[in-house]
Amino acid sequence: MMDKNKFKRILFFTPYAGRTGSEMFLWYMFQNYDKSLFEISLVSDCAGELLPQMPKEVKTFISLKYPGVFGRLKKIAAKFIKINQYDLHLFKIHKKVNSDCWYLNTVLMTDKIKLAKRNNIKVITHFHELTSDYGLVTKEQLQLAIDYSILCIADSLAVYEKLKILGAKNVVLQYECIDISKIKIDIDNSKRIKKELGLNSYSFIWLMSGTSSIRKGTDMVPELAKLLMEQNAALVWLGNSSNSGMDLMIEKEVTAGNLENVFFLGKKTNDYYDYMNIMDGFVLTSREEPFGMVVVEALALGKPVVSFNAGGVSEIITPEIGRVIDSWNVRDLANTMKEVASNNIGFDIEKAKAKAKHFDVSNQVGNWERILFNLEL
């Protein structure tokens, strides 16, 4: 039993307050943790859509990292008298909520550590990234996070191993999670979506999800779609375009190849799970995937998953619920998808849902509470 006298005030920092896996993790935890154990405040660098949806017990703030025109003018003026308005604002928030420590959610928040160190503020850093995303911060920032953090939290064993190589001394594992109770499906709406997209003529519908990028493997779509055409299978990408030159190249390749079985649907929010439910299976082409929250969502919907061995996904998928491919060859991926579509793997829908349940917030929040509660501050 936890000693309630160890009550802690924790100030969390997050980059966007958007629907990324790392930030959804916080949102799920904030709605389910034992309120008698912690007092939680949250600083976001952006006014994301999750901020107004936070529980009333969570105090929320927006940093000055991305100021408006007036704010930028003030920032320039402040520099002349050697005042860092951004740091000053963060420290004022720290004093206002009287926090015992800072919890930096994602490697992007490591820019705050210099300020924390100058003021002897203890820091927890939660890593949701593998190697490629470490390129988003400087060597100094990453090394300081490893050296100064009193605790490093890894969102998968794959990330855990990276942190040990980096030299982190105090590392714990805390998987990301979903909230299965929030998965509500309107079957009629899914049928309508499927019909309107003209998907009923395909023998199998594969879904992909995420913002298009090289890391997500969006560039593989044309080649994969061509191979799936031979199988009379469709490929549906759910998520934002990065509006990059790569996206233009992919569009041109799809058009040049007459790949009518590819559907880029953009981001869906209100009926997200109705769109996910049109799939027969989920495919992950990511070159790196620290955990794979969307994989868990697919399993919760009772769908098989095929993925490259990109990181944390291999800790989720077992032979009864999908396949993980080691070769990084698109043709091998397509052949495995055909095997799964023909149900030659003996897919077990109940085992898929049971695996998803393991990563439900109800089964993960207790571990997270113990990690934070037992920390000596």
Question: For 3-18, what is each residue's pLDDT tens digit?
Answer: 655 679 999 999 999 9
What is the residue-wise DSSP string for 117-168? HHTT-EEEEEE---HHHHTTS-HHHHHHHHHH-SEEEESSHHHHHHHHHHT-
The Cα 370–Cα 361 span in angstroms is 14
Exposure letters 302-332 (e unless 16+ CB within 10 A, then b): ebbbbbbebbbbbbbbeebbbbbbeeeebee
pLDDT value of residue 69: 46
pLDDT above 70 coverage of the chain, percent: 94
Q: Region 49-78: what's the mean pLDDT?
A: 78
Q: Give CATH superfamily name and number for 4-177+360-373.
A: Glycogen Phosphorylase B; (3.40.50.2000)
For the segment 287-301, the average pLDDT, to the nearest whole number, is: 96
* Structure confidence at residue 66 (pLDDT): 83
pLDDT of 329 higher than 50:
yes
Strand partners for 49: none
Q: Model pTM greater than 0.85?
A: yes
Joined together, the tokens standing for residue 229 give: 């055409």
Same fold, 4-177+360-373 and 180-358: yes
Q: Chain-wide mean pLDDT for the chain?
A: 93
Domain 180-358: assigned CATH number: 3.40.50.2000
What percent of the chain clears pLDDT 90, i.e. is strictly above it?
A: 87
pLDDT exceeds 90 at position 113: yes
Q: How confident is residue 346, by pLDDT bands cut at 50, 70 and 90?
A: very high
At 275-286, the pLDDT tens digits run 999 999 999 999
* Predicted confidence band of residue 68 (pLDDT cuts 50, 70, 90): low
For the segment 306-315, the average pLDDT, to the nearest whole number, is 96
> Residue 270 has what pLDDT?
83
Higher-confidence residue of 35 and 76: namely 35
Q: What is the pLDDT of residue 85?
A: 86
Task: Map out the domains of the chain as residue ranges.
Answer: 4-177+360-373, 180-358
| Average pLDDT rounded to a whole number, residues 300-323 | 97
Compute the distance between CA of residue 102 and CA of residue 124 in angstroms, rounded to an integer. 6
72-81, 97-106, 218-227, 334-343: which range is least confident on average? 72-81
- pLDDT tens, position by position, 71-96: 554 555 456 555 678 999 999 999 99
